[in-house]
Amino acid sequence: MPEESRTERATPYRRRKLREEGHVAKSTDLVASLSLLVITVSLYLVGPQLYYSLLSIFYTAPTLSVTEHPTLLRFFVEKVSPYILSLMVLSTLTVILAHLGQFGVVFTLKPLRFRWERLNPVEGIKRLLSLTTLFELFKNTLKIGILLFTVYLFLRTEIYRLMESVLLPLHISILDVMGLTLKLFIILGTLAIIMASLDLLYRRWDYERKIRMTKQEVKEEYKQHEGNPMVKGAIRKRMRQLAKGRMIKEVPKATVVITNPTHVAVALRYDPSGGDRAPVVLAKGVGQIAERIINVAREYGVPIVRKEELARSLYRWAEVGEEIPPRFYRAVAEIIAFILWERRRAYHG
């Protein structure tokens, strides 16, 4: 598909699908840089203690007999191994958190599956000539240049200190050189993180570019997952028809139908013995629906009262199956009271 035709941002479904397959925007450089910096800073802080612990072992080992070697091993486990284990745990946590910070939790084995297209030489050539490969070449060249220039500036500044350390006792000279080395790695790690952050921004931009969709793909996905608009329209129409049918069946239970006179009709029920706290709307409609409500009301002997303004207001503000709003209580109560009075008068003759 030509790149120019992919003008639409990826839909949430496409993003979720790609994520499930392990396709996310990530920078391995950022993970490596963070690991390097964290471990280097940790060694810079605890390096002297670790160094002197190892030094004491080297000085002590030649003087011990074979029977005393377990003591030396116990000393190593107690004094040195905690530093090594701490650095290993810290390195592992750094890698995990660096990945989580970029794309969250994603667990899938799909990227490990064998795919024949990976053996396609044409696709391999395309990858070699792609924008990503050119960016990688430029990035790595620039990174090496910046890091080498930084090393040059650092050595130029610290050269006299390195020369002076040669005159110090050996164990102090080694410690001094180690400190300078770790300091250099901290500077390099910081620069690497800055460059890796730029790499992450590029990765995210490139990821968004690659997952763009055509207008036709968006339409097809909408039809597939949201439903064909024509089908959905037909379903909604059928549901409205069913709802109207159920509504008309409720009209015989009404206490009164208020009309305007044939354009609007609202059927109300008020039955205190049945639990009604206020009149309830059983049905409402305009045009043909209103005519059906009125015809059913006549068929079952439901009183029909013409109140034009009230009928329009009830139709607008009252919902089917709910009580009428309080502002209509008085007007509706007068109508129902009159209907009940008429019924009692007719009953007593």
Instruction: Check: CB of residue 213 under 8 Å from CB of residue 5.
Output: no
Q: How far apart are the first and last CA of the chain?
A: 86
Please check whether residues 46 and 188 belong to one and the same domain.
yes
Please check whether residues 194 and 338 belong to one and the same domain.
no
Neighbours of 96 (CB within 10 A): 11
Please check whether residues 61 and 199 belong to one and the same domain.
yes
CATH code for position 330:
3.40.1690.10
The alpha-helical segments, DSSP class H, found in 211-302 are 215-225, 229-249, 288-299
Average the pLDDT over 102-112 and give the result.
67
Q: What is the pLDDT of residues 23-82, one digit of tens each?
A: 788 888 888 888 888 888 888 888 777 777 777 766 665 555 545 556 666 767 777 778
CA distance 198 to 21: 25
The alpha-helical segments, DSSP class H, found in 6-130 are 12-20, 28-60, 69-79, 81-103, 121-128
Please check whether residues 128 and 204 belong to one and the same domain.
yes
Please check whether residues 56 and 194 belong to one and the same domain.
yes
Give domain status of residue 232, yes or no: no
Q: Which of 210, 226, 257 is the last residue of a domain?
A: 210
Please check whether residues 156 and 305 belong to one and the same domain.
no
Nearest of 322, 328, 312 to residue 280 by alpha carbon: 322
Counting the structural domains of the chain, the total is 2
Average pLDDT, the chain: 80
Please check whether residues 65 and 181 belong to one and the same domain.
yes
Q: What is the pLDDT of residues 136-173, one digit of tens each?
A: 788 788 888 988 998 888 888 888 777 777 777 777 78
Please check whether residues 271 and 334 belong to one and the same domain.
yes
- Phi/psi region, residue 114 (left: phi>0; alpha: psi -120 to 50; beta: rest), is beta
Helix, strand or coil, per DSSP, at residue 155: helix
Domain that holds residue 61: 24-210
CA distance 216 to 186: 51
